[in-house]
A and B are shown apart, each in its own frame.
Chain A
Amino acid sequence: MAAFEDQIRVLICQGTGGLAAGAKPVEEAFQAEFDKHGVDAKVGKRCTLVGTGCRGLCANDVLVDIVIPGQAAVTYDFVKPEMVPQIVEEHILQGQVVEKKKAGPYYQKFLEKQMRVVFSRCGTIDAESLDDFLAMEGFSGIKKAVTMTPQEVIEEVKKSGLRGRGGGGFPTGVKWSFCAASPGKEKYLICNADEGDPGAFMDRSILEGDPYGLIEGMMIASYAIGAEFGYVYVRAEYPLAIKRLQKAIDVCYEKGFLGKNCLGLGFNFDLRIKAGAGAFVCGEETALMASIEGERGMPRPRPPFPAVRGLWTKPTNINNVETFANVSYIFYRGGDWFASIGTEGTKGTKIFALTGKVKHTGLVEVPAGITMREVIYDVCGGILNNRKFKAVQAGGPSGGCLPGEAIDAEVDYDSLIKAGAMMGSGGLVVMDETTCMVDIARFFLNFTRMESCGKCVPCRIGLKLMLDILERITEGRGQEGDIELLEDMCYDIKKASLCGLGQTAPNPVLSTIRYFRHEYEAHIHNQRCPSNSCKALLKFEVVDAACKKCGLCYKICPVDAVIWEKGQLAVIDKEKCTKCTSCYDACRFMAIE
Chain B
Amino acid sequence: MSNAEAPVAPEQEEIDLGPANQVIDKYLNLKGALMPVLQEVQDAYGYLPEPCIHLIAERLNVYLSQIYGVLTFYAQFHLEPRGKYIVRVCMGTACHVKGAGRIADTLSDMLGIGHAETTEDLKFTVEHVACIGACGMAPVIMVNEATYGSISVKKMEEVVEKYRAMD
Tell me which residues across on chain B come within 8 A of A453, comparing CB atoms. 73
B126 → A minimal CB distance (Å): 15
A261 → B minimal CB distance (Å): 23
The verdict on A363 contacting chain B, using a C-beta distance below 8 Å, is: yes
| Interface residues as binary, A261-280 with B (CB distance below 8 Å gives 1, 0 otherwise) | 00000000000001101111
B28 → A minimal CB distance (Å): 14
Q: Could you tell me if B145 and A20 are in contact, using CB atoms closer than 8 angstroms?
A: no
| Interface residues as binary, B139-167 with A (CB distance below 8 Å gives 1, 0 otherwise) | 00000011111101110010000000000
Tell me which residues across on chain A come within 8 A of B76, comparing CB atoms. 236, 277-278
Given the interface contacts A199-B94, A293-B32, A580-B106, does A355 sit within 8 Å of B135 by beta carbon?
Answer: yes
B14 → A minimal CB distance (Å): 28
Complex Cα spacing A278 to B93, Å: 17
Tell me which residues across on chain A come within 8 A of B145, comparing CB atoms. 239
Q: Which of A155-163, A332-340, A427-435 forms part of the interface with chain B? A: A427-435
The verdict on A31 contacting chain B, using a C-beta distance below 8 Å, is: no
Complex Cα spacing A294 to B133, Å: 25
Q: Could you tell me if A16 and B134 are in contact, using CB atoms closer than 8 angstroms?
A: yes
Given the interface contacts A278-B74, A556-B152, A582-B152, does A201 sit within 8 Å of B102 by beta carbon?
Answer: no
The verdict on A362 contacting chain B, using a C-beta distance below 8 Å, is: yes
| Interface residues as binary, B85-114 with A (CB distance below 8 Å gives 1, 0 otherwise) | 000001111111111011001100000000
The interface size bin for chain B is 35 or more
Complex Cα spacing A204 to B137, Å: 15
The verdict on A480 contacting chain B, using a C-beta distance below 8 Å, is: no
Q: Which of A126-134, A190-198, A545-553 forms part of the interface with chain B? A: A190-198
Tell me which residues across on chain B come within 8 A of A353, comparing CB atoms. 135-136
The verdict on A357 contacting chain B, using a C-beta distance below 8 Å, is: yes
The verdict on A92 contacting chain B, using a C-beta distance below 8 Å, is: no
The verdict on A237 contacting chain B, using a C-beta distance below 8 Å, is: yes
Tell me which residues across on chain A come within 8 A of B153, comparing CB atoms. 558, 580, 582
Q: Could you tell me if A431 and B97 are in contact, using CB atoms closer than 8 angstroms?
A: yes
Q: Could you tell me if A238 and B148 are in contact, using CB atoms closer than 8 angstroms?
A: no
Given the interface contacts A277-B75, A297-B73, A355-B93, does A16 sit within 8 Å of B133 by beta carbon?
Answer: yes
Q: Could you tell me if A558 and B32 are in contact, using CB atoms closer than 8 angstroms?
A: no
Q: Could you tell me if B94 and A312 are in contact, using CB atoms closer than 8 angstroms?
A: no
Tell me which residues across on chain A come within 8 A of B36, comparing CB atoms. 274-275
Tell me which residues across on chain B come within 8 A of A238, comparing CB atoms. 133
Tell me which residues across on chain A come within 8 A of B131, comparing CB atoms. 196-201, 237
The verdict on A166 contacting chain B, using a C-beta distance below 8 Å, is: no
Tell me which residues across on chain A come within 8 A of B148, comparing CB atoms. 20
The verdict on B77 contacting chain A, using a C-beta distance below 8 Å, is: yes
Q: Could you tell me if A558 and B93 are in contact, using CB atoms closer than 8 angstroms?
A: no
The verdict on A356 contacting chain B, using a C-beta distance below 8 Å, is: yes
**A443 touches which of B73, B96, B134, B157 (Cβ 8 Å):** B96
**A294 touches which of B32, B90, B92, B102 (Cβ 8 Å):** B32
Most chain-A Cβ atoms within 10 A of its Cβ — which of B73, B97, B105, B152?
B97
A444 → B minimal CB distance (Å): 8
Given the interface contacts A20-B149, A275-B39, A580-B106, does A361 sit within 8 Å of B74 by beta carbon?
Answer: no
**B136 touches which of A57, A198, A451 (Cβ 8 Å):** A57
Given the interface contacts A16-B133, A197-B131, A361-B138, does A558 sit within 8 Å of B33 by beta carbon?
Answer: no
Q: Could you tell me if A356 and B154 are in contact, using CB atoms closer than 8 angstroms?
A: no
Given the interface contacts A239-B145, A291-B35, does A296 sit within 8 Å of B106 by beta carbon?
Answer: no
Tell me which residues across on chain B come within 8 A of A363, comparing CB atoms. 136
The verdict on A396 contacting chain B, using a C-beta distance below 8 Å, is: yes
Tell me which residues across on chain B come within 8 A of A199, comparing CB atoms. 92-94, 131, 135
Chain A 183-213 interface residues, beta-carbon cutoff 8 Å to B: 195-201, 204
Q: Could you tell me if A361 and B135 are in contact, using CB atoms closer than 8 angstroms?
A: yes
Which residue numbers of A lie inside 8 Å of B, CB to CB?
A: 16-17, 19-21, 57-59, 195-201, 204, 236-239, 274-275, 277-280, 291-297, 312, 353-357, 361-363, 393, 396, 427, 429, 431, 435, 440, 443-444, 447, 451, 453, 535, 556, 558, 580-582, 585
Which residue numbers of B lie inside 8 Å of A, CB to CB?
A: 31-36, 39, 66, 69-70, 73-77, 90-99, 101-102, 105-106, 129-138, 145-150, 152-154, 157
User: Which 9 pairs show the lowest CB-CB distances between chains A and B?
Assistant: A198-B92, A278-B75, A355-B94, A294-B34, A277-B74, A198-B131, A58-B136, A199-B93, A20-B147
Task: Apart from A198-B130, A296-B73, list 9 A-B contacts with CB within 8 A.
Answer: A59-B136, A199-B93, A201-B133, A278-B129, A293-B31, A297-B73, A355-B93, A444-B93, A558-B154
